[in-house]
Amino acid sequence: MNLQMIVISPSWKEEESQSYEMQRESSFKPVRCLLATMLCAILLVSPVTVFIFGFHISYPQSFFSFNASISHDQFVMPHSLHTDVSHLQIQLGLLLQQLHNESSESKVLLKFSDQVLRIAISLDKLADSIEKKHQPDKDEVSTVDEDFTNPEEGEGEAEEQVPGGTIFTSGEIRIYISPKQNRQIGKKNFLGVEAITPSIGLACARMATNLDRFMSYKTHGTCPDDSEIAQKLLVHGCDPLPRRRCFTKSPPHYTKPLPINFSLWTQPSNANILWNSYKCKDYSCLVSKETKDRRGFFKCSDCFNLLKQAWNTPTNKSESAEFTIDEVLSLKPGEIRIGLDFSPTTGTFAAIMREKNVTIASSTLNLGAPFNEVIALRGLLPLYTSIGSRLPFFDNTLDIIHSTLFLDGWIGAELLQFVLFDWDRVLRPKGLLWIDRFFCHKEDMKLYLDEFKRLGYKPLLWRVVPKTDKLGDELFFSAVLEKPIRG
Ligand SMILES: *[C@@H]1O[C@H](CO)[C@@H](O)[C@H](O)[C@H]1NC(C)=O
Ligand SMILES: *[C@@H]1O[C@H](CO)[C@@H](O)[C@H](O)[C@H]1NC(C)=O
Ligand SMILES: *[C@@H]1O[C@H](CO)[C@@H](O)[C@H](O)[C@H]1NC(C)=O
Ligand SMILES: *[C@@H]1O[C@H](CO)[C@@H](O)[C@H](O)[C@H]1NC(C)=O
Ligand SMILES: *[C@@H]1O[C@H](CO)[C@@H](O)[C@H](O)[C@H]1NC(C)=O
C-alpha cells in the first residue's frame, strides 16, 4: 500500500493567514496589539475591496446549479449577488472601523472584533476567489477542466479556492456531487425535492488532490485499501466524505461473530479484522506489553484488553474522579435507556451499559487501531464520526451522553462550545451529560468549568481532584449534569 499517497501538510490547518492563525491560537489570552495591527491591515483592505463584477460570469455547474433543468455547463450569476457582496464588504469595513475606534479594553469587545475580523477576511477571500476564478475574459471553459499545476495541497492557490470553484479533477467526485434528479424530471419526490444533492464537507475542496485520489477507483470494482487515508481526510474536515461506487474489501477469512452473551467480553478473532491499515497485525499485539511502544496507538491504550472492566469498583472520592455506572444510573432509575459514548473506546462502557439494558452507541475514530471493528465484533454499535461534525441524532432524543479521554486540555474554548452545544441539542430534557475525568492544567480549569457551567445544567455529581500521574499541575474534573427543560 502506498503510504505516501496522502500528504497531510501542516498548512491544511491554516485557515486564513499566518496572523489569523496566531490570533486564533492565542484566543484564550487575546493579544491586543496584534489585533490592533490586524484591524489596521484589514481596514486598508476590506472597505476598498469593492469588486465590480462583470455581468457574464460563468460557474461550474456542479457547485452552483440548484435547478435540475439546467443542462449546459454554465449559468450566469445574477448581478444583484455582486452588489450584495460589495455591500456586505462595505458594511463590515465600517463596523471594523467603529470597533477600532472604540478605546475600551474589554475582553468581550476584543472577542467580538476578532469574530468580525474573521468574517471580513472570509468575505474578502470569497469575493476575491469569485473574481479571480470567474473573470469573463479568462476562458469560457468550466473550471472543472482546469489542470492544476500544483498537485500537492499545502501551498498556494489550490488551498485558497475554497467553496466557489470546482477544483476536483476526478470524474467520479464530479459525478457524485452533481445533483441527482428524480427519474421524472421536475417532479418532486416524497422529500419535497426535485433532486438529491449528495454532500461532502467544505474542507474537501481544500484537499482536492487527495480527495481526487480517494475517488480514483474502478466503479463496481474493489476499493483501494485506504481507510487510513479516508480517516485523515475526515480528521482534516473533509467530512462527510463522498460516497464511493466500489466494493470495500472484507477480511478474507471472516468467520461469523460470536453470540451476544459471549461477544461482549471475548477477544474477537484475528480473522475478522482487516489489519492492513494498522501497525499491529494481530490482536495479541494490541494488548501485549512488549509491543506497547510500536503498536501505533496511545489513546486508550488498555482498551483492547477486554478483561479489564473499569467503572465497576467504587473509588476513593478524594483521590479519584471516577463515578461508577451504578452510581450514575441510580440518579434516574429506569429512565436511562439510550445514549452515546463519545470517547476513544472499544465499547467497554457500552458493554457494561448493555448488561444494564441501556443501549449505547460508541463514537470513536480508529486511532491507529481497529477501535470500530472491535466495538462491532463485541456486538455493540460503533459510530464512526469525527469531532468536527454534527452528531447524527435528532434534537432532544438521547437519555445520556458519556465522554471520557476525549475532552481534555488540548481543546480550545470555541471548539468545546460547538461540541457541547451539539451534545446539548441531542440530549433530551432532563437527560444526563456525564463528563468523565476531563483533565487540564490547574490554571486552565476555571476556564473550562465556566464553559460547562454556562450550559445551565443542574450538577448532580461534581468532583475536581488532582491528577497524580504527572507532575501534579493537572486536575481531573468529572461531573454528571442534568439538562434543563427549556421553554
Ligand atoms: C428552473 O427551470 C425551470 C424550467 O426551465 C423554470 O421554469 C424555473 O423557473 C427554474 N427555476 C429557477 C429557480 O430558476
Ligand atoms: C474613527 O475615528 C476617526 C478619527 O479618529 C474618524 O475620522 C472616523 O470617522 C471614525 N470612524 C467611525 C466609523 O466612527
Ligand atoms: C448464551 O445464550 C444461549 C442462548 O441464548 C445459551 O444457550 C448459552 O448458554 C448462553 N451462553 C452463556 C455463556 O451465557
Ligand atoms: C482516601 O484518600 C485520602 C487521601 O489520600 C485518604 O486520606 C483516605 O484515608 C482515603 N479513604 C479511604 C476510604 O481509603
Ligand atoms: C434486562 O432485561 C432483561 C430482559 O427484560 C431482564 O431479565 C434483566 O433483569 C434486565 N437487567 C437489568 C440489569 O435490568
pLDDT per 10-residue tile (average), the chain, 487 residues: 36 34 36 45 40 32 35 50 76 76 72 77 73 48 32 38 60 91 89 92 90 90 90 94 95 94 93 93 91 83 78 71 92 97 94 96 95 97 94 98 89 94 98 94 92 96 86 87 95
CB hemisphere CA count around 481 (13 angstroms)? 26
Please count the CA atoms within 13 angstroms of the CA of 405 that sit on its side-chain side: 16
d(CA 79, CA 329): 60
Q: What is the DSSP letter of 404?
A: E
- Decide if 56 contacts 136 (C-beta within 8 A): yes
Grid cell listed for 251: 477480511
Rounded to whole angstroms, the Cα distance separating 148 from 168 reads: 9
Distance 266 CA to ligand 3 centre (A): 14
94 lines ligand 2 (CB under 6 A): yes
Closest Cα to atom 1 of ligand 5: 357
Give the pLDDT score at 342.
Answer: 96
How far does the centroid of ligand 4 lie from the alpha carbon of residue 477, in Å? 18
Find, among 303, 416, 284, 440, the residue nearest to 364 by Cα: 303
Pocket of ligand 4 (CB under 6 A): 316, 318-319
Q: What single-letter amino acid sits at 62?
A: S
Element (H, E) at 13: none
Tell me the DSSP string of 185-247: TT---TTS-SEE-----GGGGGGHHHHHHHT-S-TTSBPPS-HHHHHHHHHTT--SPPP-SSB
Residue 66 CA: which ligand 1 atom is closest? 13
Q: Which helix (H) or strand (E) holds 64?
A: helix 61-64
Asked if residue 260 has its Cβ within 6 Å of ligand 3, the reply is: no
Q: Which ligand 1 atom sits nearest the alpha carbon of residue 70? A: 2
SS3 of 467, please? strand
Ligand whose nearest atom lies closest to the CA of 64: 1
CA distance 207 to 229: 12
The pLDDT assigned to 85 comes to: 78
What gap in Å lies between CA 437 and CA 323, rounded to an integer? 9
Q: Going by CA atoms, what residue is nearest to atom 13 of ligand 4?
A: 316
Q: Is 91 in the pocket of ligand 2 (CB under 6 A)?
A: no
Residue 164 DSSP symbol? S
Which pLDDT score, from 0 to 100, does residue 77 have?
59
Q: What is the DSSP string of 88-154?
A: HHHHHHHHHHHHHH-----HHHHHHHHHHHHHHHHHHHHHHHHHHHT-TTT-SS-GGGPPPS--STT
CA of 131 to the centre of ligand 2 (A): 30
The pTM score is 0.65
Q: Does the domain made of 260-482 have the CATH classification 3.40.50.150?
A: yes
- Among left, alpha and beta (phi > 0; psi -120 to 50; other), residue 205 is alpha
pLDDT value, residue 230: 94
C-alpha–C-alpha distance, residues 42 and 36, integer Å:
10
pLDDT of residue 322: 87
Residue 271 DSSP one-character state: G
Interstrand relation of 180-181 and 474-482 (parallel, antiparallel or unpaired): unpaired
CA of 261 to the centre of ligand 3 (A): 6
SS3 48: coil
Q: Counting atoms of ligand 5 from 1, which one is nearest the CA of 356?
A: 13
Please state the three-class secondary structure of 430-462 as a single string: EEEEEEEEEEEEHHHHHHHHHHHHCCCCEEEEE
The protein residue with its alpha carbon nearest to ligand 1, atom 6, reads 69
Mutate to test the pocket of ligand 1, among 65, 69, 77, 188 (most ligand atoms within 8 A of CB): 69
SS3 category, 401: strand
* Centre of ligand 2 from the C-alpha of residue 293, in Å: 60
The residue among 52, 56, 78 whose CA lies nearest residue 67 is 78
Ligand 3, atom 6: closest residue by C-alpha: 261
Domain ranges of the chain: 28-134, 151-235, 260-482
Q: Are 104 and 217 in contact (CB under 8 A)?
A: no
